[in-house]
Structure 1
Amino acid sequence: MTITEPLLAVAGLTVRFRLPDAEVHAVTDLHLAIRPGELLAVVGESGCGKSVLAHALLGLLPGNATVTGSALLRSGAAPAIDLLTCPPRQLARQVRGRVVGLVPQSPATSLTPVRTGRRLLVETLRAHGHTRAQAPAAADRLAAEVGLDPADLDRYPHELSGGMAQRLATALALAPDPPLLLADEPTTGLDRPLVDHTLDLLRRRCDAGAAVLLITHDLTAAQRVADTVAVMYASRIVEHAPTEALFDTPGHPYSAALLDALPQRAFRPVPGHPPMLTDLPVGCAFAARCDRATPACRVQPAFTGTGVGRVACHHPLEHAELRAEVPA
C-alpha cells in the first residue's frame, strides 16, 4: 500500500434501523477516506449518527439494522476487505482489535465484569504477541501511557470510576497496536488535563503512522489534534475540510453555528432543534434552523468544492462574509 492510498475508504454508507412503526435514518450516503498518519474527526450534535458510523464499520449493529454501501480496508499487502460485507467470523478473528481497534463510548458495558483490568489487559497483550513474562510489565507501561495508575489495574470494572474505565478501554484498544483506531468519544468522564493527555496520545499514534477516526462532540478536541474534520448533521456529512480551514472559514451554516456556540467565540447556541431521524424533512435537514434557507433548500444539496474542502449546501458561506463577522 502506498501512502497515497486510503487505509479506509467509505463510500455511500447508509444505515437504517427498522422499528415496529418507523424507520430510523441513522447514516445516509456517507463518504470519507482516512490515510495512514491522519487523524480525522467526525463532529456534530448528539444523535446525528456519529457512533452508528463506528459500529457499522465493525459489524456491531443490532439485528434490525440494514447497511448498504462499501467500506474498503487496506492493510499491508493483503487484498482490501469490505467491512460492510465481511463475514462476521472474519471480522471477529481478523479485523476487530487486530487491524481496527475501538475505544467504545460506554466502556463500563464493554468490560468483562468478572476480570480485573490487569487480567483483561494482560490477556489482550498475550493474544497479540507478548509472552507470559512480557505481558505484565507491558500492561503497566500501557496503563501509565493512558494516564491510569498501574495499581488500579487490580480493580474490577465496577470498582473503577467512569474516567478510569474510559482509560482502561483506551489501553485495551491500543494494546494490539492496530493500524486504524476508531475512538468513539474517548474523553468521556475525563477532566481537562486527562482530556488533553488522551488527545495527545491519539495524535502521537498518528504521527507514528497509524490512522485515527475520532468521533466527538467536542470541537475544541477536534481542533487540538485533527488533520481534517467532517461535520455531521441529521445522518449526513455536510462539510469535510482541513481542520484549520474549517475553524477559520467554515462553508456550511451549520458548521459556522457550531463554532459560534463555543465559549471562546460568540457563545451563542444553535437555534432550534435537530429533526428526528425517524422523520427527516425533504431536502436540506438544516433548512428549518438556517437563516439562509430558500425554496432551493427543498432539494438535497450535492457536495461542492470550497477550494480547500467540500460542503453540501445551496448557499455556502463566503469567506468575505466570515471575515466581516469576526471581531477585530
Structure 2
Amino acid sequence: MKLEVNGLTVSFSIPGATVRAVTDASFSVRQGECLALVGESGCGKSVLAHALLGLLPGNARVSGQAMLSPELSPELDLLSASPAVLASRVRGREIGLIPQSPATHLTPVRTARAQLEEALEELGSTSSATELAERFGLAPRDLDRYPHELSGGMAQRVANAIALAGDPGLLIADEPTSGLDRPLVERTMAVLRELCEEGRAVLVITHDLRAAAQVADHLAVMYASRLVEVGPAAELLDRPRHPYAAGLLAAQPDREFVAIQGMPPELTALPEGCAFAPRCAHATGACAARPPMSAGVSCHHPLREAAHAQGA
C-alpha cells in the first residue's frame, strides 16, 4: 500500500470570501511506515484527511492528485474518483478512518457491539466483534455499553476497532489522542505503531508532537494551510529547519515550554509570501515572496543553513 499526494489544494466558497484550507500539499505514505502531520489547530490538517476520503461539503473545491496504490487492486486517484467508488471500494476497505472525538461519532442509541458488528458485516469481514475489540484492550462486557457509558479511552478503542474492521492497508487517524490522558495517549500511539509493523501505512494527524515522536517515521509540519517542512522524524525533531517547526518543538513541556508569539493568519486572508513571517525572528524582505519547497523545507532562511553561515 502506498499513498502519493501531489499538489493537493482545498478551498471553500463562503459568502464574501474564500477559505484556502489546504495549499499545494505534497507527501507520501508507504507500507509499513507512519507519517505524522502536525501543526496548530485550524491549519488544515483534518480538511486534508477528509479530502482524501471524499468527505468534504459541497462548497469545497479540490485539485491535485492523490494516488492510492494497493497491493491487490488497481491504482486509484482518490481526488478524481467518484463518490460511488470511494464508498464501495475505498472507505473502510482500503482506507480506515479513526475520527476526531470518536465518542461523538458513535450512534448514541446503539451499543458499541452493535456498531462494530454492523461494520464487520458491511465490510465482509470474518472476524468477530469480540476478537477485534480484545485486540484493542476492550473486554466483551465493554462492547455491550452505550456510547455515553464509555470513557474517552474506551470510545477511542471502539473507534480503533471499527476502523480496522475491513482490514485496510492505510489507516488515517485524525487527532486520535484528543482528550486522552498521557497513559492512554501512549497506549494509542503504541497500537498505531504495531499496525505499521504489521505492514500497514499510517497517517496520523495531530497537534501533539510528543505523541507523533512516539509513532512516526516521517513528519510533515503544516502551517496556515501549507506544508513548511517534511522529513525523517528523528532528524526533524533533533534539528528542525523551519522556524515554525523549531517553535513547535520549543513549546513542548519537555523542552523550553515557550509559546510561539502571535497568531496565525486567517485562512480567508493568507499572504502571498511566507505566512509565518509576521511571527518569525528570522524574517526579511525576501519573505514577501512565497518560498518554494526545497530539500524538504519551505523557507528563505532555513535554520541549519543560518547556523552554518554564522559559524563560518
State whether TM-score is above 0.5: yes
Verify the 8 A CA contact 1:181 1:213 in the aligned structure 2: yes
SS across alignment from 2:35: strand
Match of 1:58 among 53, 57, 64: 53
Q: Which residue of 2 aligns with 1:311?
A: 297
* Displacement of 1:48: 0.3
Matched, 1:301 2:291: yes
* Displacement of 1:282: 2.3
Stretch moving more, 117-126 or 89-98: 117-126
Listed as ranges, the matches of 1:172-321 within 5 Å are 172-305=162-295, 310-318=296-304, 321=307
State how far apart, in whole Å, the 2-side matches of 1:23 and 1:7 are.
Answer: 32
Identity of aligned residues (%): 61
State how far apart, in whole Å, the 1-side matches of 2:113 and 2:135 are.
Answer: 14
Match of 1:317, as an amino acid? L
Match of 2:23 among 22, 25, 28: 28
State how far apart, in whole Å, the 2-side matches of 1:65 and 1:320 are.
Answer: 39
Q: Which residue of 1 aligns with 2:152?
A: 162
State how far apart, in whole Å, the 2-side matches of 1:148 and 1:51 are.
Answer: 27
Change (3 A) 1:152 1:85: same
SS across alignment from 1:312: coil
Matched, 1:43 2:42: no
* Displacement of 1:257: 0.5
Match of 1:94, as an amino acid? R
Match of 1:301, as an amino acid? P
Verify the 8 A CA contact 1:146 1:197 in the aligned structure 2: no
TM-score (norm 1): 0.90
State how far apart, in whole Å, the 2-side matches of 1:11 and 1:130 are.
Answer: 32
Count of residues in Structure 1 that have an aligned counterpart in Structure 2: 309
Match of 1:89, as an amino acid? A
* Displacement of 1:91: 0.5
Verify the 8 A CA contact 1:116 1:157 in the aligned structure 2: yes
SS across alignment from 2:221: strand
Could you tell me which runs of 5 or more consecutive residues in structure 2 were left unpaired when the two chains were aligned: none
C-alpha deviations, 1:152-192, integer Å up to 9, x for none? 21112233233322221111001222100000011122222
State how far apart, in whole Å, the 2-side matches of 1:177 and 1:130 are.
Answer: 8
Match of 2:171, as an amino acid? L
TM-score (norm 2): 0.95
Matched, 1:143 2:133: yes
State how far apart, in whole Å, the 2-side matches of 1:293 and 1:277 are.
Answer: 20
State how far apart, in whole Å, the 2-side matches of 1:209 and 1:33 are.
Answer: 15
Match of 1:153 among 140, 143, 148: 143
State how far apart, in whole Å, the 2-side matches of 1:130 and 1:181 are.
Answer: 17
State how far apart, in whole Å, the 2-side matches of 1:204 and 1:107 are.
Answer: 20
Verify the 8 A CA contact 2:66 2:79 in the aligned structure 1: yes
State how far apart, in whole Å, the 1-side matches of 2:134 and 2:72 are.
Answer: 33
State how far apart, in whole Å, the 2-side matches of 1:26 and 1:147 are.
Answer: 36
State how far apart, in whole Å, the 1-side matches of 2:237 and 2:36 are.
Answer: 13
Match of 1:126 among 103, 109, 121: 121
Match of 1:45, as an amino acid? E
C-alpha deviations, 1:45-75, integer Å up to 9, x for none? 0000000011000000011111111111111
Verify the 8 A CA contact 2:125 2:166 in the aligned structure 1: no
* Displacement of 1:130: 4.1
Match of 1:198, as an amino acid? T
Q: Which residue of 1 aligns with 2:99?
A: 104
Verify the 8 A CA contact 1:147 1:194 in the aligned structure 2: no
* Displacement of 1:288: 0.2
SS across alignment from 1:303: coil
Match of 2:10, as an amino acid? V
State how far apart, in whole Å, the 2-side matches of 1:48 and 1:316 are.
Answer: 21
Q: Which residue of 1 aligns with 2:6?
A: 11
Q: Which residue of 2 aligns with 1:3?
A: none
SS across alignment from 1:318: helix
C-alpha deviations, 1:222-261, integer Å up to 9, x for none? 1111000000000000000101100111010000011010
Match of 2:76 among 74, 78, 81: 81
Match of 1:52, as an amino acid? V
Could you tell me which runs of 5 or more consecutive residues in structure 1 were left unpaired when the two chains were aligned: 1-5
State how far apart, in whole Å, the 2-side matches of 1:174 and 1:312 are.
Answer: 35
Verify the 8 A CA contact 1:166 1:188 in the aligned structure 2: no
